[in-house]
Amino acid sequence: MTYEGLTLSGAALDQDTVQKFLRLDRDQVQLDVLLLCQTAAMNYILEYTGLTEEEVAGHDDLAIAFLVLVQDMYDNRTLHPDTKYANSANRVVTGILDLHRRNLV
């Protein structure tokens, strides 16, 4: 399952939009890696929230969470990032996803 032409609440998240958000030059993008990151980001959102794809598509804020997750996955491809916050998830993304979470454990 890929999310190449994803639409979340009316916001078209096509490759051009994703590449602009990530500030990638068209000639420098690794499209196969970017598509993999998009699929992983959407799967993360679905698993984290417990929402269906149709339910996710109805929330504008999840588009931002999706883009931030894709950017994080694309930019940070090492096991141990060199930041002091490496052990914590992005708080903006976590906050947005928590708003829609159904599978509270």
Q: Residue 65: which of 97, 17, 102 has the closest Cα?
A: 97
Given this model, what pLDDT does residue 23 score?
Answer: 92
Element (H, E) at 7: strand 6-8
Asked whether the predicted pLDDT for residue 26 surpasses 90, the reply is no
Most confident of 28-32, 38-42, 80-84, 94-98: 38-42
Could you give the domains of the chain? 6-99 (1.10.3230)
Which pLDDT value is given to residue 70?
A: 92
Tokens, residue 11: 């916001």
Any residues with CB less than 8 A from the CB of 55 and at least 6 apart, and which? Answer: 100
Give the pLDDT confidence score for residue 101 in this predicted structure.
83
Annotate 23-68 with DSSP letters as a single string: T--TTT--HHHHHHHHHHHHHHHHHHH---HHHHTT-HHHHHHHHH
